[in-house]
Amino acid sequence: MMRNDDNPITLDLFADEPPTTSGQIERIGQQAFVLRGFALPWLERLLPALETVLQAAPFRQMVTPGGFTMSVALSSCGALGWTTDRSGYRYTAHDPQTGRPWPDMPALFRELAQAAARAAHFEHFEPDACLINRYVPGARMSLHQDKNERSLSAPIVSMSLGLPAMFQFGGFERSDKTLRVPLFHGDIVVWGGVDRLRYHGVLPLKDGRHPRFGAQRINMTFRTAG
């Protein structure tokens, strides 16, 4: 299921192939794993909690320090949430849009993130931030490193819901070759340790309709930020 940038033809042939591999674990780095379908058994309980979070902290499109409006809409829950504006990127305890603290991280989110971390050999994961990204067709996330977190010793746990996307997992320089990993509804990617600072991104979301989520992909990343 993994392919690299040298292979654009197979990319198009297989990008929308549904996962037949639920329960499978794919290693994409020394300490980086794709857990296929890991979130699926949790979803019936998880989605109502996600709705409650999004009512308290709705999706919004943020502006980067460079002045670009991100194509991905964001929200957060947990003690800390991630924001960006013209003055920079940061974690904050309050949602700048509502002036209130970010919604609490539902206990179930934390349990799922910890279970996924354990499956990827990271014990004692204590997430205090959950970033929620919404992609509509055409939305993308350019290659970046996750390095706003105070400590880099905890992994990133990243869950995909809705439409499939092509995740890029690169090296430690932006220009390094990237692995392309198709991510489907219910998949979780975990990277940490020696792989914690790898560049990663998401190619523009293709058109489509997911039976549950319609024309969108939701990504949730769990982090220890503070």
Shortest approach of Fe ion to residue 39 CB, angstroms? 18
Angle CA(102)–CA(130)–CA(163) in degrees, nearest 5? 120
* Residue placing its CB nearer to Fe ion in the complex, 146 or 195: 146
Q: Are 155 and 121 in contact (CB under 8 A)?
A: no
Structure tokens at 123: 């014990």
Query: What's the distance, CA 66 to chain centroid?
Result: 22
Report what 76 binds from Fe ion, ligand SIN, none; CB cut-off 5-8 Å by kind.
none
Q: Does 141 bind ligand SIN (CB under 6 A)?
A: yes
Q: Is 60 exposed, middle or buried (0-12, 13-18, 19+ CB in 10 A)?
A: middle
Q: 103, 200, 216, 224: which one contacts ligand SIN (CB under 6 A)?
A: 200
* Residue placing its CB nearer to ligand SIN in the complex, 110 or 200: 200
Report what 219 binds from ligand SIN, Fe ion, none; CB cut-off 5-8 Å by kind.
ligand SIN
Q: Are 143 and 174 in contact (CB under 8 A)?
A: yes
Q: How far apart are CA 218 and CA 206, in angstroms?
A: 14
Residue nearest to ligand SIN (CB): 219
Binding site for Fe ion (CB under 5 A): 146
Binding-site ranges for ligand SIN (CB under 6 A) = 133, 141, 158, 167, 200, 202, 219, 221
